[in-house]
């Protein structure tokens, strides 16, 4: 079965949802989001490390959150047996 990573970012204007081929792509998308909005903040210089930037950004902007989920892509309803994911 194929698996995907789903990234959601909640912010004051709504929720962005990204379906990515894996967790690495989801992490890169999250880092790109943080770096884009970092420039419009007063957080100072961006850290070179993506995870440090992500952690700093979401520690400051507590009203913004993100989640990632590793999900199975169902090819048919018959694939459902035992594959439920509670979010």
Residue 30: predicted pLDDT: 98
Report the predicted TM-score, pTM, of the whole model to 2 decimal places: 0.85
DSSP code string of 12-57: TTEEEEEEESSHHHHHHHHHHHHHHHHTTSS--SPPSSHHHHHHHH
From CA 23, how far away is CA 14, in angstroms rounded? 22
User: With contact defined as beta carbons under 8 Å apart, do 66 and 58 qualify?
Assistant: yes
Which of 74, 75, 76 shows the shortest CA–CA distance to 85?
Answer: 74
Residue 76: predicted pLDDT: 83
Mean pLDDT by 10 residues, the chain (87 residues): 95 97 98 93 92 96 96 83 64
Element (H, E) at 58: helix 50-60
From CA 87, how far away is CA 47, in angstroms rounded? 31
């Amino acid at each position: 079965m194929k698996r995907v990573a789903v990234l959601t970012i909640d912010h004051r204007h709504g929720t962005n949802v990204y379906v990515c081929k894996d967790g690495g792509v989801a992490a890169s998308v999250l880092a790109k989001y943080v770096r884009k909005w970092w420039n419009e903040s007063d957080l100072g210089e961006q850290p070179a490390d993506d995870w440090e930037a992500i952690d700093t950004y979401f520690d400051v902007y507590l009203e913004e959150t993100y989640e990632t989920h590793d999900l199975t892509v169902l090819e048919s309803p018959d694939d459902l047996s035992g594959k439920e994911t509670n979010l």
